[in-house]
């Protein structure tokens, strides 16, 4: 009987060790993905500030912001993309976000661009984070936001309290191409 107990204890210890190893690996994997998203967010902001230096003050004075780096793929009549981003409120609280995108129509190519959402108030940011956000239209003209300075004339209003910068490798884009895109909280990284 004592040999069976010894075997069961040994099996229990092996099982527990295995579960701990899997848990630690998953936790390390999540931490690595979170770090990658934070690094990407800083790179997106630096790209914006290089392109529109006055945007640094706009972001600093906003209720919060969210950054995304999008890589869109279009082959034939369909296209799409997916990825992660980071929303940060004025107090520094970080929420990991994700997006999924589908598009239809003829085309071929890969396009990379950065999106920076700037929130005028906490309610607009909270709605973006907690309810998700879906954009099904397409803006093609630059929009001026009241008389809030030159950086605001370069951001486009995409919904009440939410403005958006889109920066491509060639600079600030006058066209916002986010149709068919859904933004939502990343359940895997917000643990």
Tell me how far apart the alpha carbons of residues 47 and 113 are, in angstroms, rounded to a whole number: 10
Give the burial class of 30: count Cβ atoms within 10 A of its Cβ; 0-12 exposed, 13-18 middle, 19 or more buried.
middle
Take residue 106 and report the two structure tokens written for it.
């003829």
pLDDT along the chain (191 residues), means of 10: 55 41 56 95 95 93 94 71 92 94 70 89 94 60 36 68 83 56 90 79
CB 72 within 8 A of CB 110: yes
User: Considering the entire predicted model, what is its pTM?
Assistant: 0.73
The pLDDT of residue 120: 95
Residue 97 contacts residue 185 (beta carbons within 8 Å)? yes
The partner residues of 102 in beta bridges, in order of sequence, read: 80
Q: Which residues pair with 84 in a beta bridge?
A: 98
* Contact predicate 85/70, CB 8 Å: no
């Amino acid at each position: 009987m004592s040999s069976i107990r010894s075997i069961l204890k040994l099996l229990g210890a092996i099982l527990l060790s295995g579960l701990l190893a899997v848990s630690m690996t998953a936790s390390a994997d999540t931490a690595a993905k979170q770090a990658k998203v934070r690094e990407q967010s800083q790179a997106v902001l630096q790209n914006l500030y290089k392109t529109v230096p006055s945007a640094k003050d706009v972001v600093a004075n906003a209720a919060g912001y969210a950054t995304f780096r999008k890589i869109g793929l279009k082959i034939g009549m369909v296209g799409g993309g997916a990825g992660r981003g980071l929303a940060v409120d004025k107090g520094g609280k970080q929420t990991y976000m994700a997006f999924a995108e589908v598009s239809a129509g003829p085309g071929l190519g890969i396009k990379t661009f950065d999106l920076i959402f700037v929130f005028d108030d906490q309610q607009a940011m909270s709605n973006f984070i907690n309810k998700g956000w879906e954009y099904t239209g397409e803006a093609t003209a630059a929009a001026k936001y009241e008389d809030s300075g030159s950086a605001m004339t370069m951001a486009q209003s995409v919904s009440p309290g939410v403005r958006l910068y889109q920066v491509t490798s060639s600079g600030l884009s006058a066209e916002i191409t986010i149709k068919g895109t859904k933004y939502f909280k990343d359940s895997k990284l917000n643990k």
